Homo-oligomer: A and B are copies of this chain.
Amino acid sequence: MAAGEGDLKLLGLLVSPFVVRVRMALSMKGVSYEYIEQDIFNKGELLVRYNPVHKKVPVLIHNGKPVCESLAILEYIDDIWGTTGNSVLPADPYERAIARFWANYIDDKMFPSWIGLLKAETEEEKAEKVNQTLAVLMHLEDAFALCSNGKAFFGGDSVGYLDLALGSNLFWFEALRELFGVAFIDEGRTPLLASWAERFGEAAAVKEMVPSVDKALEHAKKFRAFFAAAAAK
């Protein structure tokens, strides 16, 4: 059996950016798989069995063996289906190192900032999270100039690892704009990211995997109720 063959399942949550980026990568590679939606507010047996440490989505299950953590899954997809379609990671070692740096930055700094906005209880907390997210995006604007080298994407001429890492958050920015009236990426402050976001949204393999803003809004409502209940305990 060739490395890429066999049974492939993905445990996910439709509105999770971490899941969305994995689905985009699998779509880029033209790989088919069984998608199994999880209830993250009431974690089921599959999630506990296949990701016992974190009990988080996404989990990619390849021939019965689980791979957890979205960025590690992107690397795995590239390793297994490397010769199918475009590479996810850059081919150059230095560009790869830089892409890994910024992808970690997105997950460690950007995600906690914007998700913090959904958890914020006071106007002061909200303003703090908005400012944090905006500051992170200013760094990412600079990163785009550095990584893209004048080309269309972080990954050069086509969508790559860092495009997926950041781009999988974009539909949430739309939802946050509706909820809080703040534009995280806009032409005035982050012109490079603004035009990149348009191109990213148009990319064929990516487009079909973007959840609707309504789905995000619906999830945001559940998420805020869940956090409010937890905080009230």
Contact = CB atoms under 8 A, between A and B. Distances in A.
B69 A100 contact: yes
A101 B139 contact: no
How many copies of the polypeptide does the oligomer hold? 2
Interface of A: 3, 53, 62, 65, 67-69, 71-73, 75-76, 79-80, 93-94, 96-98, 100-101, 104-105, 139
A105 B53 CA distance: 9
Contact of A76 (B53, B79, B97): B97
Given A67-B101, A80-B93, 4 more contacts: A65-B94, A67-B94, A72-B97, A79-B97
A72 B100 contact: yes
A79 B139 CA distance: 26
A105 to B, nearest CB: 7
A72 B89 CA distance: 13
A73 B101 CA distance: 9
Interface centre among A67, A69, A93 (most CB of B within 10 A): A93
Contact of A93 (B3, B100, B101): B3
A128 B80 CA distance: 41
